[in-house]
Amino acid sequence: MTKYVGAIDQGTSSTRFIVFDEGGSVVESHQTEFEQIYPQAGWAEHNPQTIYETVVTCIEKTVQKMVDRGLQPLDIKAIGITNQRETTIVWDRETGEPLHNAIVWLDTRTKATVERLTQQTASRSRAHFQRVCGLPLSTYFSAVKLRWLLDHDEPTRRAMEDDRLMVGTVDSWLIYKLTGGAGRGVHVTDVTNASRTMLLNLETLEWDDSMLEFFGVRRSALPEVRSSSEVYGLVADGPLKGLPISGDLGDQQAALVGQRCFEPGMVKNTYGTGCFMLLNTGTQAVQSQHGLLTTVGFKLGKEAPVHYALEGSVAIAGAAVKWLRDNLGLIKEASEINEHAGKVSDTAGVYFVPAFSGLFAPYWRDDARGCLVGMTQYTNKSHLCRATLEAVAFQAREIMDAMNSDSGQAIQVLRVDGGLTNSDLCMQIQADIAGVAVDRPQMRETTALGAALAAGLAVGVWRSAGDFAAAGGQRRFEPEVRAQERERRLGEWRQAVQKSLGSVWEMKRAGAMAAARRGFVAMRAPSFT
């Protein structure tokens, strides 16, 4: 009998449901985009109910496609979930209804909260808790977003006081809803998602009492922390009613599994809305000295060993291409960036730093802002398109350098996945700038594949991770640029980055000076009335 495994891939801008066969090939899928909510500059939200509804729609559409092909949906043996991480959802334990829109991982409204919390630490350092949770105080992580909600949203604060509050990342919300919701739903998360909250102790893999006290969070509001591969509950309704939900991984850790980076030293990079590189460090958590995060890579079973990873996170990667399309109108479709970037052999000295929401690793500067450097009258659309692709590659290169320094060994091969990897040009640029081979799998759905693998392992579709081999081969991109040229361009990129730093304060200062000058001119100007 043919066995299938389904994977819910809930991302920042869309939701997908993908069904894989035992060989790791895609059998059928459906994808749905959903609304992005931007209440004000720097704020990004999602409607939690809309997220759940897109999941239901994708499952129903995929199942119908299988039926239309004469396939049996009941041959699906389990469902795995992979999700946008750090995005924070709060809901009412009694009603099961959301108390506020989800605050998305790239939202920066919590800058003042981060500054205040940093001053409350004994060391006055954002890195104060990194030895406990692996993460710096940053707008990025879930606990800071929750603290903001408790400080600024009255329904959330009241729910916490009344012990009605439930908090989770997107995986927790979906598992809760899929297993029945209010009064019935299971409230769990896995170690990979929990490790992105700032509340998990990396050594014990449990919620840390000192972190809960610091952020003012009740343990009763949080989900139970489980492994990435076990049965959490059964689907309560719909065409897959009764099916076990048995895999749960944050999207970047799911890609680490889907790329089969099971051994220490193996590294993958995912190019999505942001850009996320993970290096498997084995069963020991390595504390970074170069601006990286320490996180849980995966724990594929209750009794399986935990694998940790060093991670470098870039806020803006594919989102920069979307910005060219939606904000500037330079391209009509995202795929057009390759056509225009391919018309020129270089950027003619233009460097684009897409620090729209600050810079993540290795800088961790929320005062950075996007900038274009080196433009002349010769600069055209093609140069800007190529500079956008190079910006993604340069950010990845800086993370690689940090990983090499922390691990004490040089990365030799970079395994890649995500939307931007569809561009041969972008991957060649990445190989040239990184100076290492770039391996792109033929089957690109590695994030969903990782979730499916975790789910299938839990119910016996696969006996071990070693038994699993992804479908198809891979294409390798080798560096074609001389080392001297590569380092020269990297130096110029770093100069451009420096121009983006502190720009918020510089703009405020410049604005104040301009206002003062206007006042002086107005005071001195003669009157002709």
Over residues 42-90, the pLDDT tens digits come to 899 999 999 999 999 999 999 999 999 998 888 999 999 999 999 999 9
CA-CA-CA-CA torsion sign (110, 114, 120, 121): positive
- The pLDDT assigned to 278 comes to 94
- Residue 416 CA to residue 439 CA, distance in Å, equals 6
- The pLDDT assigned to 361 comes to 81
- The pLDDT assigned to 408 comes to 83
CA distances from 129 to 146, 295, 412, 444 (A): 17, 13, 32, 36
**Which of 132, 118, 165 has its CA nearest to residue 146?**
165
Strand partners, 320: none
- The pLDDT assigned to 189 comes to 98
Tally of CB atoms within 10 A around 148: 21
3-class DSSP state of 131:
helix
3-class DSSP state of 105:
coil
- The pLDDT assigned to 527 comes to 32
Please check whether residue 347 is in contact with residue 390, taking contact to mean a CB–CB distance below 8 angstroms. yes
- The pLDDT assigned to 493 comes to 94
Token pair recorded at residue 458: 């839990």
Over residues 402-434, the pLDDT tens digits come to 999 988 888 989 999 888 888 999 999 999 999
Over residues 180-217, the pLDDT tens digits come to 999 899 999 999 999 999 999 999 999 999 999 999 99
- Residue 200 CA to residue 450 CA, distance in Å, equals 22
Where do we find the tokens 């233009």? 350
Token pair recorded at residue 103: 């605050």
- The pLDDT assigned to 508 comes to 53
- The pLDDT assigned to 318 comes to 85
Torsion region of 493: left, alpha or beta (phi above 0 gives left; psi -120 to 50 gives alpha): alpha
- The pLDDT assigned to 525 comes to 34
For residue 55, the 8-state DSSP code is: H
Radius of gyration, alpha carbons of the chain: 23
Interstrand relation of 244-250 and 229-234 (parallel, antiparallel or unpaired)? antiparallel
Residues (pLDDT < 70) of the chain are 1, 467-472, 503-529
Helix (H) or strand (E) holding 352: strand 351-353
- The pLDDT assigned to 529 comes to 26
